[in-house]
Structure 1
Amino acid sequence: MTETPKRPQQVFTLLVEVGRKPDDGLPKGATGAGLMCYASGVDEAEAVRETVAVLKQAGLAPLDVTGYGTAEERRAQGHEIGAEETALMDRALAENAVIVAQMEPFFDDDDEDD
């Protein structure tokens, strides 16, 4: 009986858009936020599922996830990946974790009545 080889974990770059939820920790007046995440998984679908689950546990409301692939895939597309970003990706892989690298709150620019 032969075992199927275990697929290795990879790290995927994900941009997650979150909406508002009570006690989500986003700044007052924000309509949501964009989160740049590095998540480990055997494939991008698993990384997305894990990221959404972690963000929900953290009290956030994930609305949309855009996948940018692995570091190798991003480099092939011409993305430059610096040392800090590489270190965060390495940490996500080593800890089998989701790392939120950056959070950018969204605000409505349409506060004026036209």
Structure 2
Amino acid sequence: MTDKPSKKQQVFTLVVEVGRKAGDGLPDKASGAGLICFASGVDEAEAVRETVAVLKQAGLAPLDVTGHGTAGDRRAQGHEIGAEEVALMDRALAENAVIVAQMDPFFD
């Protein structure tokens, strides 16, 4: 019997839109927020599931997640990835974690 090779963890860039929820910590007049997250997973679907779970645990209300692929995917699309972003991605991989790199509140 041969063992299936295990899939390697990768880091995915996700953009998450969150709505309002009591105690979410967003500014009073905000209608929600946009987050840029770096999340590890064997595939993008796992990274999305883990990110949604972590954000819910943090008291946020995820509404929509858009995947932008791995750093390699993004570079292939012509994106420039700075040293700070690379450091956060490396941390997400090393810690098997979801890192919220940026949060921008939405105001109507």
Q: TM-score, normalised by structure 2?
A: 0.99
* Counterpart for residue 20 of structure 1: 20
Identity of counterpart residues, as a percentage? Answer: 83
Residue 4 of structure 1: how far off its partner (Å): 0.3
How far is 1:81 from its partner? 0.1
**Residue 70 (structure 2) aligns with:** 70
Listed one character per residue, the Cα deviations across residues 32-75 of structure 1 (whole Å, up to 9, x for unaligned) are 00000000000000000000000000000000000000000000
Q: TM-score, normalised by structure 1?
A: 0.94
Q: Which runs of 5+ in 2 are unaligned?
A: none
Higher-Rg structure is: 1
Distance apart, 1:22 and its partner CA = 0.1
Superposition CA RMSD, Å = 0.3
| Letter in structure 2 aligned against 1:98 | V
Alignment-derived partner of residue 105 in structure 1: 105
Aligned to 1:84: 84
Where does residue 93 of structure 2 map in the other structure?
Answer: 93
1:2 to 2:5 alignment: no
Partner of 1:56: 56
The ranges of structure 1 where at least 4 consecutive aligned residues each deviate by more than 3 angstroms after the TM superposition are none
The DSSP-based 3-state class of the residue aligned with 2:68 is strand
How many aligned residue pairs are there? Answer: 108
Gaps of 5+ in 1: 109-114
SS at 1:69's partner residue? coil
